[in-house]
Amino acid sequence: MVINNKNFYIKNKSNKKRKVYSFFGVKRKSYLGGVISRLYDHYCTGATNLYKEYRKYYYHEFLTFDDFLEKRYNLFKKEVVHMSSKHVMMKDLNRDIDYNLYTLKEDESFVDGIRRFLGGQYED
């Protein structure tokens, strides 16, 4: 889910980069495979594991990990319940600006596909 231009998702075995090609039904070395790879990189590469961040920097400041998600990232309670996992990742989309992907991000079919791949159906 994308909230305040930050992409939150739960990392698991099914949303690795090598699986994105078969999810979209494209070949890795094709033109569309490169486009899908860049979309995946934009939304996922360089993401921060929030549980590790909580344990390293905010363990003494917040009582629980859920409290940390709610107050540090301004998430609502239902989002915190959905994202409460040790494998929750966050990527700030403001830092990684790829102007070539700007028009693709406007195409809802690509964005919906990435959302389904990452396991979220939330609005931006």
Q: What is the pLDDT of residues 70-106, one digit of tens each?
A: 999 888 888 888 877 888 888 888 776 666 776 777 7
> What are 3-13's pLDDT values in tens digits?
877 888 888 87
Q: In what order do the strands lie in the sheet with 2-3?
A: 2-3, 6-10, 88-92, 48-49
> What are 24-57's pLDDT values in tens digits?
888 999 998 888 888 888 888 888 999 999 999 9
Please give the structure tokens belonging to residue 35: 């486009």
Comparison of pLDDT for 8 and 107, the residue scoring more: 8
Q: Is the separation of the CB atoms in 52 and 111 below 8 Å?
A: no
